[in-house]
Structure 1
Amino acid sequence: MKFREWFKSGDPWIWMIGGALSISVIMVVGLLLLIAVRGFSHFWPAPLVETTVTAVDGSQSVILGETVDSETLPADRVREAGEFIDEDAQVITRHLFKVGNRDLTGRDFVWHLEAALGEWRYPEDAMMIERREWGNFYGYPLRIEEDGETVAGGEGLWSELQARIARANELHEQIDRIERQEIGRINNQLEEIRLEERGLEHYGVTGAEREAVMADLAARRAALETEYEDLRAQRNDLQARAERDVLYARTANGREVAINLDQIVMASKNNALGLAGKLGFYWHRIADFLTGYPREANTEGGIFPAIFGTVVMVLIMSVLVTPFGVLAAIYLREYARQGPILRMIRVSVYNLAGVPSIVFGVFGLGFFVYLLGGSIDEMFFPERLPAPTFGTPGLFWASLTLALLTLPVVIVSTEEGLARIPRSVREGSLALGATKWETLWKVVVPLSAPAMMTGLILAVARAAGEVAPLMLVGVVKLAPSLPVDGEFPYVHLERKIMHLGFHIYDVGFQSPNVEAARPLVYATALTLVALILILNLTAIAIRNRLREKYRSESD
């Protein structure tokens, strides 16, 4: 009887709901911890291991690198792969080493059986070099040469190397600024001149007017070409200064290698670092990851263009979806005549929220890009054709597609907020002499603002993580230019962008170097989650502030 009464009281269902909620929270927190450990532990300076590897034929070689993974396998599986192991062994352990030096050996990750490895050593003079190409280099520094003459070696070598790497990175930043900004600006202006010349032909301008315009364009082109030659000479001078310094290093097998310092991002003796040095190294690499540009088919470098593209796209999407969603909800709730047609519209809105996102991508490609974008090109950019301006996937079409994707969420949330406003509030406003319009915009809409912000929060959360539609309407593997820069009109809605979600897909499934890309997938995924959390917390703070404001005014 007591069990039956306890069951009828509803307490079991409360415990079941609480248990399910606890399990969900534990799973979410566990997933985030897994992503954080797998991703950002990649940036910690791992110990550099040196050991001897004995091959099946008895030959030996020395390897130097980082231990990435270890696993235990059935011995039969290893024998089938042609590896020689003890006949009595039932299981065998093998280790994955990141040995770098891909330009010398052809691969920078290699598995070795534990039985084939000698004693593990951790030499303090071993160094890891992060390069702009060919991945990491592992070895021992020998000397630094400048224009063929030795300038550092022995005890003073490491401090001199760090100073010259810092100088080389500074020169590289100057070269990058000239190439990306200055020369890019000149190229854009030269392209505008070319388009103006085509415009004269397209619109049939002839006679004295054409000659005057052509003379002006020729003068502008000559000035830009002169400026370009000056910048190119400046760039070549910086490049020559950056290429003067060469580091000579020795691999674990004794091979001497020359590395230009302009190809080095950073160098570290991981085994000689103390706790403070490791923490500095760790945060420096994380900062480079968040603020740098990708390299090596997105398996090296940073993700700043993807972060920037994601944020800009979500902000533009929010600006587009909020007014349309709010106005549609106000019309449906406050002005439209209730009836079967309105019920059909509401059902359509609810169903639209469940349409697969790839369908919106196909619609955006066909309607926004090809139809609207193609029409805009024909009307406003005829001199650029057949090269499209807006008739190709870009930032604006990606934002507009996501706005259409999230529009039902904003409409439904805003409608529910409007429905929760008591009828007595409307009647009291009307009784005081306010019109319906004044009642709506000065009383009802402000009180329902928190619900509108809730819709926007849900829209941002969904839009920031979408990938499938963006692959069709504006997101690419690598965007050469950011959509926002110092060139007029400053925000370039026609440019293609990078996106964190697509970056995760590309690095995880399209990368030629799976082992190198795996930790970056986790780190990028955690960055995306953190970015969505920041955007949502910002919107939640605004919503709470509005809620408290209008609650205090109503009191």
Structure 2
Amino acid sequence: MAIADIHERGGRGLLPWIKSGEPMIWLNAAAVSLSVVAVLGLLFLLAVRGFSHFWPRDVMLVNATYQGQERVLLGEVVEQVQVSGEQLREAGFELAGAGPFYGRSLIKQGNRDFFPSDFVWVLDEQLGERRYPAHVMVVERLEWGNFYGTLISVSRDGELLADASGEPAALWRAFQDLIDETLAVREQIGDIERGEIGANNYQMERLRLRERSLELEGALDTAAQAELAAERAALDVRYAALQEALYALYDSVDGFTYGARLADGREVELPVSKVVRAFRPNAMDTADKAWMYLKKLWEFLSAEPREANTEGGVFPAMFGTVLMVILMSIMVTPFGVVAAVYLREYARQGFVTRTIRVAVNNLAGVPSIVYGVFGLGFFVYFVGGEIDQLLFREALPSPTFGTPGLMWASLTLALLTLPVVIVATEEGLARIPKSIREGSLALGATRAETLWRVVLPMASPAMMTGLILAVARAAGEVAPLMLVGVVKLAPTLPLDGNYPYLHLDQKFMHLGFHIYDVGFQSPNVEAARPLVYATALLLVILIALLNFTAVHLRNRLRERYKSLEN
């Protein structure tokens, strides 16, 4: 609004302008703009702090005075801050200058198996000349975090393939060849361990439960025992063959080693079987780093976590989140719609109905942890325990459904989001004109046919709105899931190739709980911090994709039935 316009309105009187409601319009616009800026700023912070972690940084070699000793540091500068000189002096630091602020760098030196800590804080004035040698390598490992050093030799089964005395390119190529061969063998090992051996063990467990079931029924006669023994013998033979193949694969790469020199001059020999990848960031151009960035980002999205969830990927957590939301949506939608239809179409509108509506609205404000406690006590211990007594007696005392799992987590969140679906659906039913119902009845349709063929299709956009709100709330919930099914690390996915394929009794991983675990329960806070940002942004993106899918479906339904509303 122009200044002259404001003065003109002030000349006519400020009170009429306020009564017109125009100031509230501007106030609301400012509030919406501020909210949008805050959300975009949060997303930008998550993206910068999270996804920048996967960019290969240059590795610095520098002489430093650290903890009163002269040391050679080799690592990445992951963070730089300004610290008050007064605070440093009070902490006992001897500072050469008298400035008010001093730079402080967080250096990731890795090599957790050789140094006390893989992250060190060093004042910039304690660092000497910074160098970035092209031959320095970064080795990402399955255990002990990153390794920083210089490659000096590569060996296969005790036979030296190449060393630093030869051509550097040949040494590096021999190292990469061994890594590629090891990765191929590791993939075969994973297929056998999780695929074939996992399926074999699953069949063995089912065989044990069948034997126990026959025993409880008194039908474990000689013929049944012989049949079970024959099946068990066949599975034992198959397991022995798989174990032999597995040991052969392990032995084929056990002799692969590489020699490296640490920053302090020590020379060590390490197994190639623990290597995920190795690269030389100081010798890489922008295109090479971009390609490496994409590979590490894909690993984050598709791989499993390792090193106490501080490295690797989040695919099991992402898979568990999506599967739980889908199951929750399947459970909550029918119950919510049926309840809303009864309250709006069939229930007599009076004191009882109004009381029920008030109770439903109040349920939407109950803290989520209360639902978690209820789900643990009612669904898990009571319902699950009764199901085990009726259907899974052969597995007792080991619980099947009498323990937290995917089904109880989905059902608990369905109960949590049920009021949202009921209210949204009931409002959609209330907006349908009475004339449409009367017209359908006048044409000879029954009340049930009118509801099923006319009213519910027209109210479907409102149902989708309720589902969108339910997904938005349930996907980010953590507190109830900690009680009814989510775990820090699940060895297998709840959906696999073993009958019945979807294992509703299994525990699962969730992105929300993964953020909590990495951020607050990690033994290595500095290493986990970037993954907290990256996982949080991934959760926001995942919820947005689920919501956009539901919104697209709702818009299509709305366009389809718009003519009927008019």
Q: Decide whether the 8 Å contact of 1:56 with 1:84 is kept in 2.
A: no
2:412 equivalent to 1:406? no
Counterparts of 1:365 and 1:54 in 2: how far apart (Å)? 55
Query: 1:56 Cα deviation (Å)?
Result: 6.1
- 2:233 counterpart letter in structure 1: A
Find the counterpart in structure 2 of residue 63 from structure 1. Answer: 73
Aligned-partner SS, 1:450: helix
- Does the residue aligned with 2:288 lie in a helix, a strand or coil? helix
Contact kept in structure 1, 2:433 and 2:565, CA below 8 Å = no
Aligned partner of 1:465 in structure 2 is 476
CA offsets, 1:391-449, max 9 Å, x none? Answer: 00000000000000000000000000000001111111111121111111111111111
Alignment partner of 1:429 is 2:414? no
Equivalent residue in structure 1 for 2:396, among 385, 394, 398: 385
Kept in 1: contact 2:149–2:260 (CA 8 A): yes
Query: 1:204 — aligned with what?
Result: 218
Q: Distance between the aligned counterparts of 2:366 and 2:432, measured in 1?
A: 30
Alpha-carbon distance change, 361 to 56 in structure 1, aligned in 2, over 3 angstroms = closer
The answer on 1:525 being equivalent to 2:525 is no
TM-score (norm 2): 0.95
Tell me the amino acid that sits aligned with residue 394 of structure 2: E
| Paired residue secondary structure (1:465) | coil
Q: Percent identity?
A: 59
Correspondence list, 1:155-194, <5 A:
155-194=169-208
The CA distance in 2 between the partners of 1:387 and 1:124, in whole Å, is 57
- Match of 1:157, as an amino acid? L
**Structure 1 stretch displaced more, 433-442 or 382-391:** 433-442
Instruction: Tell me the CA shift for residue 196 of structure 1.
Output: 2.4
| Alpha-carbon separation, structure 2, partners of 1:270 and 1:56 | 28
Q: Counterpart in 2 of 1:327?
A: 338
Q: 2:275 matched to which residue of 1? A: 264
* Structure 2 match to 1:111: 121
Q: Which moved more, 1:426-435 or 1:195-204?
A: 195-204
Distance 1:87 1:311 in 2: 55
- 2 CA distance for matches of 1:521 and 1:40? 10
CA distance in 1, matches of 2:156, 2:236: 34
What one-letter code is carried by the residue in structure 2 that aligns with 1:102? R
For the residues of structure 1 that align with 2:412 and 2:199, how far apart are their CA atoms?
Answer: 30
- Work out the CA distance in 2 between the residues paired with 1:39 and 1:395: 29
Show the counterpart of 1:130: 140
Aligned-partner residue type, residue 121 of structure 2 = W
Matches of residues 113-512 of structure 1 in structure 2 within 5 Å? 113-153=123-163, 154-205=168-219, 210-512=221-523
| TM-score (structure 1 length as normaliser) | 0.97
- Distance, in Å, in 2 between the alignment partners of 1:221 and 1:443 is 58
- Give the C-alpha shift of residue 69 in structure 1: 1.1
SS state at 1:103 partner: coil
Q: Which amino acid aligns with 1:16?
A: L
> 2-side partners of 1:121 and 1:88: how far apart?
27
User: What is aligned with 2:15?
Assistant: 4
Query: Aligned-pair distance for 1:74?
Result: 2.2
Cα deviation, residue 255, structure 1: 1.2
**Preserved contact between residue 56 and residue 83 of structure 1 (Cα < 8 Å):** no
Q: For structure 1, which runs of at least 5 residues remain unmatched after alignment?
A: none
* Separation in structure 2 between the aligned mates of residue 177 and residue 83 of structure 1, nearest angstrom: 54
Specify whether residues 87 and 275 from structure 1 end up closer, same or farther in structure 2 by C-alpha distance, changes over 3 A only.
closer
- Residue 547 (structure 1) aligned with residue 543 (structure 2): no
Q: Is the 8 A contact 1:395 1:474 kept in 2?
A: yes
Deviation at 1:52, TM superposition (A): 0.3
Q: 1:552: how far off?
A: 4.7
Q: Alpha-carbon deviation of 1:87?
A: 6.7
Structure 1 residues 56 and 498: alpha-carbon distance in aligned structure 2, compared to 1, 3 A threshold: closer
On the 8 A contact 1:67/1:96 being kept in 2, the answer is yes
Cα displacement string for residues 477-514 of structure 1 (whole angstroms, at most 9, x for unaligned residues): 11111000000000000000000000000000000000
Runs of 4+ aligned structure 1 residues displaced above 4 Å come to: 552-555
SS at match of 1:16: helix
Mean CA deviation greater in 74-83 or 448-457: 74-83
CA-based RMSD: 1.4
